[in-house]
Amino acid sequence: MSPKDIDWKSLDFNYRETDYSYVSMYKDGKWDDGELTKDHTVTISECSGVLQYSQSCFEGLKAYTTEDGRIVCFRPDMNAKRMHDSCLRLEMPPFPEDRFVDAVEKVVKANKDWVPPYGSGATLYIRPYMFGFNPVIGVKPADEYMFRILVTPVGPYFKGGMKPVEVTIPDFDRAAPHGTGGIKAGLNYAMSLHPIMEAHRNGFNENMYLDPATRTKVEETGGANIIFIKDNGKTLVTPKSDSILPSITRRSICYIAENILGMKVEHREVFFREVAEGEFDEMGLCGTAAVISPVGQINDHGNIIHIKAGMEEMGPATRKLYDTLTGIQMGRLPAPEGWIYEIK
């Protein structure tokens, strides 16, 4: 398939092979120089560390075409840093952060025809990832690793676009206290597949996980952080916990709320009771893939909690945050220092 054959406006969120990926190998204690490749397959030992013990982590970011036709990435240095943290927790050798950003630039530039045009609603999704490569049979970290970046053009993550979604409270936990919830490890997703399929089979869009220790506090969904709005749009509240993945979108939204929109920001433990008692006017799921997706109601084992903004449209404060964030990403609004990385 060639980028010319794509109808950008109706693009879904599925993998499509593009021209180039980036690959670098770690062997004998060091990373090689890395290169672009047209080979979109990987051949590994049947006993490789990733196949046996799931030693892998990943990142996700996007490239956008701005209003004035530039190609930009949003805060790639933050992804580099977070992957560094993920690697340390999994006993993997971090890929140097400056080389990470450089590799993102190289692979986006090599695939520039695949970056969807401004105004199409589509973006180029960038997926850096790393995994244990060589055979490992006793339980231990691999000695060799492959770092790759694939890119693929995508449309909106939720099919309904900006329509509010309904989430449910699963009987499963996402991440243990002191576990791996705070890093972007593939294993966090493997265990979420059954709960998300159950949620879908029951007619819900997403699972809203509670803290596994006490089941009284809100954590996040399988792949997005949560924001709440209260005080007539004046206050943004976002849950705090070591087992929540530190979303770059959420941290950017908090910055925008406080420094651009003049809102008050509370990053603190959020009790499910507060949500059930109607403390919040608006609620949203945020992440690179979803951007901000409004939540209209929560189904807690058949008991429906209505968020005041409702199931028809995004609430006004969420809308303002969404417009500001995407305005910055698409170059319509001035960006805070260092947020926009232009691919030249």
The burial of 321, by beta-carbon neighbours within 10 Å (0-12 exposed, 13-18 middle, 19 or more buried), is given as buried
In the block, residue with structure tokens 């329509």: 163
Please, which residue, 35 or 258, has the CB nearer to ligand PLP? 258
Biggest alpha carbon distance in the chain? 58
Measured distance CA(123)–CA(64) in Å, rounded? 6
Measured distance CA(183)–CA(69) in Å, rounded? 34
Q: How far is the CB of 107 from ligand PLP (least distance, A)?
A: 18
3-state SS assignment for residue 50: helix
Pick from 263, 280, 264: which is nearest to 272 by CA? 280
3-state SS assignment for residue 181: coil
What phi and psi values does residue 3 have, to the nearest 5 degrees? -60, -25
Are 35 and 161 within 8 A, CB to CB?
A: no
In angstroms, what is the C-alpha Rg of the chain?
20
Please, which residue, 34 or 181, has the CB nearer to ligand PLP? 181
**Amino acid at the residue 50:** V
Are 248 and 78 within 8 A, CB to CB?
A: yes
Q: How far is the CB of 299 from ligand PLP (least distance, A)?
A: 21
Q: How far is the CB of 303 from ligand PLP (least distance, A)?
A: 25
Measured distance CA(333)–CA(63) in Å, rounded? 17
Please, which residue, 31 or 255, has the CB nearer to ligand PLP? 255
Please, which residue, 224 or 295, has the CB nearer to ligand PLP? 224
Measured distance CA(256)–CA(56) in Å, rounded? 32
Task: Enumerate binding residues for ligand PLP (CB under 6 A).
Answer: 60, 184, 220, 223-225, 245, 247-250, 287-288
Please, which residue, 6 or 292, has the CB nearer to ligand PLP? 292
Measured distance CA(166)–CA(226) in Å, rounded? 13
Work out the angle at residue 253's Cα, subtended by the Cα atoms of residues 287 and 243, and round it to the nearest 5 degrees: 55
Measured distance CA(113)–CA(2) in Å, rounded? 9
Q: How far is the CB of 221 from ligand PLP (least distance, A)?
A: 7
Q: How far is the CB of 329 from ligand PLP (least distance, A)?
A: 12
Q: How far is the CB of 133 from ligand PLP (least distance, A)?
A: 23
Residues designated as active site = 184
Hey, how many other C-beta atoms are within 10 angstroms of the C-beta on 41? 7
Please, which residue, 6 or 61, has the CB nearer to ligand PLP? 61
Q: How far is the CB of 79 from ligand PLP (least distance, A)?
A: 7
**Angle separating helix axes 248-259 and 316-329, nearest 10 degrees:** 110
